[in-house]
Amino acid sequence: MFDSVLPIIFSWPFVAFSLIATVVGILYEIPFLVILGAITIVPFSYQLNNVQYFRGVAFFLPVLQLFSAWALKEERNVWAWVLFAPTIAIILWLFVINSIIGFF
pTM of the model: 0.86
DSSP 28: T
pLDDT at 58 over 80: yes
Q: Where do runs of H (alpha helix) occur along 1-104? A: 2-10, 12-27, 31-40, 42-48, 60-73, 77-103
Mean pLDDT value of segment 87-102: 89
pLDDT at 104 over 70: no
The range of the structural domain enclosing residue 44 comes to 2-103
Q: How many residues does the chain have?
A: 104
Q: How many domains are contained in the chain?
A: 1
> Which of the given ranges, 3-7, 20-24, 51-55, has the highest pLDDT on average?
20-24
pLDDT at 9 over 70: no
CA pair distance 84, 67, nearest whole angstrom: 9
